[in-house]
Each structure stands twice: as C-alpha cells, then as structure tokens.
Chain A
Amino acid sequence: SSELTQDPAVSVALGQTVRITCQGDSLRSNYPSWYQQKPGQAPVLVNYGKNNRPSGIPDRFSGSSSGNTASLTITGAQAEDEADYYCNSRDSSNNHWVFGGGTKVTVL
C-alpha cells in the first residue's frame, strides 16, 4: 500500500516562511490535499489540487507538487498557524486514500 512521509516537526519565526513537505509514490499521479488541525479540533482543509484554497483560507497558504514530493508553504507565518498539518492523497492502484504522519508547526 502507498505511504506518505512528512517531517514530524518544524519551527518558524513569526512572519517568516516555512515549507512542509510530503513524499510518496501516489503523488506522482495525484495532487495532494492539506489539512490543518489545532488541538481538540477537527481537521480543516487549507489547500488542494495544483494549488487551490477553500474560501476563508488566507493566501499565505500555498501548495506545489513535483514528482513524488508535495509541499505546503506558509508565507509570513502567524501565531494562529501553529498546528499540525497533514497531507493526503489517493492511491490510484486500489482507490484507497492515505494520510501522511503529520507535521507539527511551531511559530516562535
């Protein structure tokens, strides 16, 4: 089965830029989606497809993909961006979906 690999944790200074990466074979044929989860809350979609943001998500969240690697970039990180971030992708071989292990973003 397909897997997605994320770095467990990253930190970023307030107002600076941080990139969260996600690696996996399924990303070669499917765009990922990205979810933000704050403690005690349900996940929230922040980016999907080539680089699409749902209504209400700030434009500082952007996505990109190349080969087997996808990235979510937060440009000008704010204190409220401190959260866990998960990538997700569909595995075309079996019509299953898979999540990355999650990246904890700390804003310093």
Chain B
Amino acid sequence: DQQVKQNSPSLSVQEGRISILNCDYTNSMFDYFLWYKKYPAEGPTFLISISSIKDKNEDGRFTVFLNKSAKHLSLHIVPSQPGDSAVYFCAASARYGGSQGNLIFGKGTKLSVKP
C-alpha cells in the first residue's frame, strides 16, 4: 500500500505560469518531506524540504506547502521555465520512528513546461 502518492503522472504548463505539483501521504508519523527533481538517465537532485513544524518553505522560485491535517503537500514553481521540465518526486520520512528515517518515495510527476 502506497504511503506516498502523487496522483498526477504528468502536468503540462506554459512558460512563465505557475506549476503546482501535489503529493499526499497516509502515515501520520512522517515528519520530514522532500522534493527531488530528476532528468532522464540521471540521479535525482534534491530541490527543497520541509519539516512538519512548518507549513511553508521557500527557496527562490520553489515553495513547498504542507497541510498536516489533510496529509498533503504541494510544490509551487513560479515562474515555470522550460528547464524545469523533469520528473518530480515527493518523499517523506519519519525521522524518529522505527524506520530509521528512510525515505518513502512517490511515483513521480512528469512536468513539461512549454515555451
């Protein structure tokens, strides 16, 4: 059973507009969330993270929002650029639980930003 779900396999947006990627989780023990960006045939690159004590974290064009009551997080990219076209993975961990802080990944959302 998937503990981290990215329900949209793909998303297409116009350059300059906002991209919103969504992620849902089921395990209430998760307390740290990350977004990774991945190009084909390359390893994932860490993008941004958020601790469960926050509801927002911002880094340049990237903002992650966390809604703990809904067990939902989202990544906003503003403005979107063609170079942002990649697969985005959401990941979650329970840092102080029995899982030793291992990351659980969603299946990814493929973002296409059209010029």
* Chains A and B are bound partners: no
Give residues in B with beta carbon < 8 Å to A: none
